Amino acid sequence: METYARSENYVPPPAPGFQPSMHANINYPPQPGPTPTYMNPSMQNIQMQPSQPTVQPNMGAPSANYYNQNQHQPFQILSDPMVTNMAMQYGSSLVGSGRQIVDSQFEKYIPVSRLKYYFAVDTNYVARKLMLVLFPFLHKDWSMKYEQNEPVQPKFEVNAPDLYIPVMAYVTYVLVAGLALGTQSKFSPEALGILASSALAWTVVEIVIALLTLYISSIDTLLKTLDLLAYSGYKFVGINLAVLLSLMLSRSGYYITLVYSSFAVAFFLVRTLKLQVLAGNDPYKGSVGNKRRMYFILFIAVMQPIMMWWLSSHLIPSS
């Protein structure tokens, strides 16, 4: 029997008739040298190609309907009644708060609520007030009505001061002055502008003088600054009447009308201011306080004829 020397890598041959199973786990020792690997060419091409994503229909890029729905989504939100109501309420609240801030700041410098009182007039009041200014001798009751410690509106009380007639009388004065200058071939926009601004400036000077007189004399009255502005503006009614009559009756008609209207306006102011100035009289000051108040009333009344002549004399033709 031959004896062979077994090497370390010796593997005994399989027994005759033995077929190894495909699933048998046989550990063969590694053979020396690389073992070449042979692949099917078709499989090699598959492995060399990069993997590409598989796109299924309607599972990749969004469709056109998807884009259309996303584009219309903001408009659908805006068309929601709840969103619209909330936006309108928020906007109205912003507008209301902004208006309150503007009104409060504006009210500090210009009393708008107080100005509404002076323009609360109607046609009946305007006609009665003009008759009162031009014919004050026929008026009997000079008292003013009050409601909750506040004077009633001018349209309910003819003795209450207003700013509608003074403002309209001032505008009419500018127009009549332009007509008078045109008849004398002296009209020009510059001259009319100077005349309008000078009349307004003299009115402001008159009010400032009245306020300084009240302050220096230490007179407490119910008069307000807008009241003085209203009373100083009634003289333009007499000025307009005098200038218009001067165009028809020359200088004689002007002087006759000016004298009468000046006296009427002065009488009107004396009777009107008497109640408001003397109403704030302090009984502890005695007769001295009453005299100062009467002097103030007479001072305002005397200023009217002077201002009426000063604002109208240069509008009358020399011949």
pLDDT of residue 2: 46
pLDDT of residue 203: 95
**Mind listing the pLDDT tens digit for each residue in 170-219?**
999 999 999 999 998 888 999 999 999 999 999 999 999 999 999 998 88
In the beta sheet, which residues pair with residue 151? 146
Closest alpha carbon to 175 in 315, 80, 6, 278: 315
DSSP per-residue string spanning 281-309: --GGGHHHHHHHHHHHHHHHHHHHHHHHH
Per-residue three-class SS string for 149-189: CEECCHHHCCCCCCCHHHHHHHHHHHHHHHHHHHHCCCCCH
Residue/partner pairs of 3-8 with CB below 8 Å, 24 or more apart: none
User: Whole-prediction pTM value?
Assistant: 0.66
Q: What does DSSP assign to residue 222?
A: S
Domain chopping of the chain, boundaries: 79-109, 123-315
Burial class (CB in 10 A: 0-12, 13-18, 19+), 2: exposed
**Mind listing the pLDDT tens digit for each residue in 184-195?**
888 899 999 999
90/23 Cα distance (integer angstroms): 80
In 17-163, which ranges are continuous DSSP H helix? 41-48, 64-78, 81-109, 112-118, 123-134
Which whole-number Å values give the CA distances from 247 to 150, 228, 314, in the listed order?
A: 44, 31, 13
**Mind listing the pLDDT tens digit for each residue in 257-283?**
999 999 999 999 999 998 888 875 554
Residue/partner pairs of 21-24 with CB below 8 Å, 24 or more apart: none
Point out the residues of the chain with pLDDT beneath 70. 1-80, 83, 96-111, 280-289, 319
- First vs last C-alpha separation in the chain: 176
